[in-house]
Amino acid sequence: MEKLSEHEIETYLKGLNNWSFLYNEIQKNFVFPNFMEAINFVNKIANLAEEKNHHPDIKIFNYRNVTISLATHSVGGVTKKDIDLAKAIDLIY
């Protein structure tokens, strides 16, 4: 898997909804009406991540906010695999 250039990442991000490129990863914050809906979303992402064998960093804060961060650690940056997982996460949302 090859690390994408910043230009390639920015091009891919134009096709995604509200993902941003920060600190050598892509990330997005999702807001839910309550804690349980946030947890249900995280559980769905966990199942998807296991299925794809590609695991995001997940942060839950203020009880209903979930921030997802994606990078391929083995290459030290963002790959097409991260872009594809971001698209799949958006579909779950």
Mapping DSSP to helix (H, G, I), strand (E, B) and coil, where does residue 83 land?
A: helix
Express each pLDDT in 51-65 by its tens digit.
999 999 999 999 999
Per the listing, tokens 């794809």 go with 52
Per the listing, tokens 């091009």 go with 11
Express each pLDDT in 24-47 by its tens digit.
999 999 999 999 999 999 999 999
Domain 6-92 in CATH 3.30.1360.20? The answer is: yes
Residue 1 has pLDDT above 90, yes or no: no
- Parse the chain into domains and list their residue ranges: 6-92
Express each pLDDT in 58-85 by its tens digit.
999 999 999 999 999 999 999 999 999 9
Backbone angles phi, psi at 69, to 5 degrees: -120, 135
The strand order across the sheet containing 20-22 reads 20-22, 25-31, 65-70, 57-61
Show the tokens assigned to 16: 């995604």
